[in-house]
A and B are shown apart, each in its own frame.
Chain A
Amino acid sequence: MESGSNGNNRYDRYHIETKPAPDISEWPTRFTVEVGKIGLAKELLTEIWHHKFQNWDVITSRPCMYGVFSGPVGGFSPQPEHCVGCLRCTTEYPDFVKVSHNPERKKLGDSYFTSNFIDAISYEVEQGMIPVKGAGYRGKFGGDGWDGMWTDMSEIVRPTRDGIHGREFISTVVDIGYRPNMLTFDSQGRPTGPTPRVISIPIPLIFDNPPPSVSGELIWKIYSQAANSIGSLAVLPLGAILEHNLESDHVIPLVAPEEQENIDLLSGTPLMIEMDGWDEQLHRHIHDLFPETLICLRMPFSSSEELLAYNKKGIHVFHLLADFHGQGEDGEFVLDLIRQAHTAFVEAGVRQEVTLLSSGGIIAAEHIPKAILCGLDAVALDTPVLVSLQAEFSGECADRNESEFNMPNNLDLDWGRQRLMNLTASWRDQLLEISGAMGLREIRRMRGEMGRAMFMVDLESEAFAGIEGYEYG
């Protein structure tokens, strides 16, 4: 699980093998293209008349460079799947060509995971690349949550572009587990106190247990194989692991208190087990059975006191949950919840000893570095994994257990694994862009670096102070 070396102690640079993995389910096109047939016919006749039945290359020269009108009957039967919305056709022929955003496409997702996020992921998982476009930013100025936060950059520090393009190394490795604040040794140099117990994963991203509405053998296999291929982790139900033989170093069993006895059925020693809620007895049982195994507590974001209390009981890895829209139980957003949890451990002087994982509301590449700057160690991805596999949302999908997603009927193991590899590769590269811009060589150094985060509320209050009508916040 160590990145950067293999079993022979030879150095390997971390790499995810990307391959094109086009959609398997036909989703609505981004644009609709309507061509008035009478208008087009008139235009053609006018041109033919104008050119006196000559210059056919000129007459048939079409405005679209992307093949929308290149079928056998040209504009009489446009192919909107090729349309990129450049609007040249409707600029040249405004009286009979209409290009619109496809309302059906806009219906994908829900009010949080909007179709814009889905469009971004669609590109990322098809290509495994970073979306690169011209013409600047098109969105809202700022906003709440992630949109109200910017990351820093540095004008003159390294590693930067070189790091991004591989000549220098920016490490995205993070550790999950326990690191004592201090090591102690006896006179022989042998450690006398607690020693670190960590799993190092090459990227700060793991796959979280899929929600009940899509769970099944194929999905679990896609998750476990993808985690294996990228060298990360997938959290899967213990029952599924046992039933479908999914045990591996890349699969973290998720165990509910009532499943305590089934843990004994595991054939190997898991690197980590995730407890689905606190249970004293379960904790003790896991500890007795697998003393070397890390125990992670899965629980909703909670008060500082509660988190510290679990830490005192021996929990060093927390997997904190918001709903799929990033809301905690009291309605606070995941960004603020991460900051609070991180601060609680910093103030207690034990941040170094714990790992914070989180799920819920982290649905775009940029959310990962922002969450890390707020204090997270790694993200356990939920809905973006489903979107990568072309899951469709059934209504609003906020609740972790009740939400209904529909997977494509023709879901395929290799395709699914490749899509998740592509997603990870694209998001990792984007993480490198952000860290490169800041001049950070290690993602581990990014955690909780609030000096490199800028919040709209602070920037605006400084910039707009004294402007009539502006009040702080």
Chain B
Amino acid sequence: MNTDKSTQVKIVEKHIANLHAGYHGRAEGLFPAPDALGDFRWTDDLILSTYYQAEYGRPPENGMEYRTGRSGGGFDVLDFKFLPKVDWLPTEAEIDISLPLNKRGEGRKITIDLPIYGGGMSYGSISEQVMLSRVMAAKKWNTYISTGEGGYPSGLVEYKDNIITQVATGMFGVNEQTIKYAPIVEFKYAQGAKPGLGGHLLGDKATDTVAELRESVPWVSLFSPFPFHSVYSVEDHRKHVDWIKTTNPNALVSVKVSTPTDVDMVAVGSYYAGANIIHLDGSYGGTGAAPEIAKKNIAMPIEFAVPKVHNYLSNENIRDEVVVMASGGVRTAYDVAKIIALGADGAILGTGELVALGCTRCSNCERGRGCPFGLTTTDPLLSQFVTPDWGAQRISNLYGSYAYQLRDILRKLGLTSIGQLRGRKDLLRYLGSEGNGSSEQDEQG
């Protein structure tokens, strides 16, 4: 667009004003949801209720479904068996939803204020503004985001205490400095949306700045190789961990893996190689570009992987020495609670945060200039649609709503800490393959 700077500013202001009014109007139900909004996993109600939570920090009370989708399986066919109302804990009861991330005897102790942190979304796949929004919210909630595999924009350095440095196969932006910054280093072996396939940034998004950070050639597609070409065994992985520990002895180590048939073995191997956190990334999430065939068909959903890993680690008597975090299709506070009941310690979010910033889940992130809402893009004009202060407030509000709901769920189950929910499948109810997990238990009391 050939416009001078002040015109550009006015254009951006115009669209920001329109977009904000639109998010508000739709969240409030002032206009009907567009027919083309939503899908089985993220229904129109889930998207709009996330807008609502991002605006108000509370779940909606206007009848919008904010807990489950309509996918006919997994989270959507599970519900909680809440106690009769008389047995609920009082609203003022102290309920602890914090999560310690290092359960081993040695090393730095880190505790996050809620059992959630932000997953890896790289610079390049999202804008710096969105990265800043995420990390500013993480700071408010004493939690983390991961850099993803795209380097460490300088604007993020002041937030380094809330940033996990991801070491992935392309090693983009990984150096001694960024390892030293990190309270937690995350090895990305695989990711759920494209298990076994490595990362992929389409050429259109490899702008000059993106390329500079990744030390690559502008406008050329970037494929991260798969797997790590230096790791062909658990012993090799152990050497990887040693490398990080030599550079930054204080860092906790997280190992991000996908969910193959033998995901339980992978988890045990990761534990013995020194991981503090095993991050299981199921196949139904993801924000970046992925071949459609990989999303549905390769590797199992997180709802199946977590109990498998939890049981195996428990049988090996090591469950209490390692933190299991789940991502890949965790959309709501109820999903977070359900995955913990299935055996995880906490959950990692990505898509939910983008929806809080206005994502309609249209899947056009990779088309042309990138996201028309300024999220998954580094286009200089589009990325201005998200200002970090506004974005941070929206994500922070979403976290606030999640924290409120998690406490509410625990209260209705008679539990005083999130740790007590872990692996409590007995507190869940299966609704049948057509059920969508939205029973009105609260009201029934």
CB within 8 Å of B: which residues of A? 31, 55, 57-58, 61, 63-66, 84-88, 90-95, 98-101, 120, 130-143, 147, 149-158, 160-162, 164-165, 365-366, 369-370, 430, 433-434, 436-439, 451-452, 454, 456, 459-460, 462-464, 466-470
| A65: contacting residue among B295, B363, B372, CB under 8 A | B372
CB 8 Å contact bits of B349-391 with A (1 = contact, 0 = none):
0010000001111111111110011001000000000000000
Chain B residues lying within 8 Å of A147, measured Cβ to Cβ, are 296
Interface centre among A88, A143, A466 (most CB of B within 10 A): A88
Task: Check B299–A150 contact: CB distance below 8 A.
Answer: yes
Task: Check B223–A165 contact: CB distance below 8 A.
Answer: yes
Contact A57:B307 (CB < 8 A) given known A138-B363, A150-B298: no
Chain A residues lying within 8 Å of B351, measured Cβ to Cβ, are 135-136
Task: Check A135–B363 contact: CB distance below 8 A.
Answer: yes
Q: What is the CA–CA distance of A64 and B372 in the complex, to the nearest angstrom? A: 8
Task: Check B258–A153 contact: CB distance below 8 A.
Answer: yes
| A132: contacting residue among B226, B290, B303, B308, CB under 8 A | B290
| A86: contacting residue among B72, B190, B364, CB under 8 A | B364
Task: Check B283–A137 contact: CB distance below 8 A.
Answer: yes
Task: Check A430–B291 contact: CB distance below 8 A.
Answer: yes
Task: Check A152–B261 contact: CB distance below 8 A.
Answer: yes
Task: Report 16 cross-chain contacts, Cβ distance below 8 Å, ordered by A residue.
Answer: A61-B11, A66-B367, A84-B362, A84-B364, A87-B37, A120-B292, A132-B366, A135-B351, A137-B295, A139-B296, A154-B260, A155-B257, A156-B236, A161-B198, A430-B293, A459-B304
Contact A140:B73 (CB < 8 A) given known A160-B196, A433-B197: yes
State how many angstroms separate the Cβ of A102 from the closest Cβ of chain B: 9
Taking CB as reference atom, which chain B residue is nearest A30? B36
Contact A153:B260 (CB < 8 A) given known A84-B367, A141-B73, A459-B300: yes
Q: What is the CA–CA distance of A61 and B426 in the complex, to the nearest angstrom? A: 56
Task: Check B429–A469 contact: CB distance below 8 A.
Answer: yes
State how many angstroms separate the Cβ of A217 from the closest Cβ of chain B: 35
State how many angstroms separate the Cβ of B322 from the closest Cβ of chain A: 17
CB 8 Å contact bits of B45-83 with A (1 = contact, 0 = none):
000000000000000000000000001111011100100
Taking CB as reference atom, which chain B residue is nearest A364? B293
* CB interface residues, B 294-315, toward A, < 8 Å: 294-301, 303-304, 306-308
Interface centre among A136, A141, A142 (most CB of B within 10 A): A136
Task: Check B342–A463 contact: CB distance below 8 A.
Answer: yes
Task: Check A462–B304 contact: CB distance below 8 A.
Answer: yes
Contact A91:B22 (CB < 8 A) given known A155-B189, A155-B190, A157-B227: yes
The reply on B105 being an interface residue by CB < 8 A is: no
The 10 closest A-B pairs by CB, nearest first: A141-B73, A134-B365, A437-B196, A153-B196, A100-B35, A138-B39, A92-B18, A470-B430, A91-B22, A161-B226
Chain B residues lying within 8 Å of A64, measured Cβ to Cβ, are 372
| B81: contacting residue among A57, A120, A164, A468, CB under 8 A | A468
Taking CB as reference atom, which chain A residue is nearest B9? A58
The reply on B428 being an interface residue by CB < 8 A is: yes
Q: A57-B1, A141-B40, A470-B430 are in contact. List 6 more A-B contacts (CB 8 A).
A: A132-B200, A132-B202, A137-B284, A150-B301, A365-B293, A459-B304
Task: Check B362–A85 contact: CB distance below 8 A.
Answer: yes
Chain A residues lying within 8 Å of B225, measured Cβ to Cβ, are 160-162
Task: Check A100–B34 contact: CB distance below 8 A.
Answer: yes
The reply on B432 being an interface residue by CB < 8 A is: yes
Taking CB as reference atom, which chain A residue is nearest B258? A153
Q: What is the CA–CA distance of A162 and B283 in the complex, to the nearest angstrom? A: 21
Chain A residues lying within 8 Å of B284, measured Cβ to Cβ, are 136-137, 141
- We find that the number of chain B residues with CB closer than 8 angstroms to chain A is 106
Contact A140:B290 (CB < 8 A) given known A63-B18, A463-B303, A468-B430: no
The reply on B123 being an interface residue by CB < 8 A is: no
| B431: contacting residue among A85, A132, A469, CB under 8 A | A469
Q: What is the CA–CA distance of A365 and B42 in the complex, to the nearest angstrom? A: 24
State how many angstroms separate the Cβ of A448 from the closest Cβ of chain B: 16
Interface pick from B23-31, B90-98, B172-180: B23-31
| B72: contacting residue among A90, A140, A365, A454, CB under 8 A | A140
Q: What is the CA–CA distance of A110 and B441 in the complex, to the nearest angstrom? A: 39
Q: What is the CA–CA distance of A153 and B328 in the complex, to the nearest angstrom? A: 16
Task: Check B298–A437 contact: CB distance below 8 A.
Answer: yes
State how many angstroms separate the Cβ of A365 from the closest Cβ of chain B: 6
The reply on B144 being an interface residue by CB < 8 A is: no
CB 8 Å contact bits of B1-36 with A (1 = contact, 0 = none):
101000100110011001100110110001100111
Interface centre among A86, A138, A365, A452 (most CB of B within 10 A): A138
Task: Check A439–B196 contact: CB distance below 8 A.
Answer: yes
Chain B residues lying within 8 Å of A151, measured Cβ to Cβ, are 297-299
Task: Check A467–B425 contact: CB distance below 8 A.
Answer: yes
Q: What is the CA–CA distance of A461 and B427 in the complex, to the nearest angstrom? A: 17
The reply on B231 being an interface residue by CB < 8 A is: yes
Q: What is the CA–CA distance of A433 and B290 in the complex, to the nearest angstrom? A: 11
Task: Check B308–A463 contact: CB distance below 8 A.
Answer: yes
Task: Check A137–B329 contact: CB distance below 8 A.
Answer: yes
Chain B residues lying within 8 Å of A451, measured Cβ to Cβ, are 261
| A463: contacting residue among B226, B304, B361, CB under 8 A | B304
Task: Check A143–B72 contact: CB distance below 8 A.
Answer: yes
| B430: contacting residue among A141, A434, A467, CB under 8 A | A467
The reply on B41 being an interface residue by CB < 8 A is: yes
Chain A residues lying within 8 Å of B148, measured Cβ to Cβ, are none
The reply on B285 being an interface residue by CB < 8 A is: yes
State how many angstroms separate the Cβ of A148 from the closest Cβ of chain B: 9
Task: Check A135–B189 contact: CB distance below 8 A.
Answer: no
| B428: contacting residue among A86, A87, A164, A468, CB under 8 A | A468
The reply on B156 being an interface residue by CB < 8 A is: no
Chain B residues lying within 8 Å of A63, measured Cβ to Cβ, are 15, 18, 372
Task: Check A161–B197 contact: CB distance below 8 A.
Answer: yes
The reply on B193 being an interface residue by CB < 8 A is: yes
Chain B residues lying within 8 Å of A452, measured Cβ to Cβ, are 261
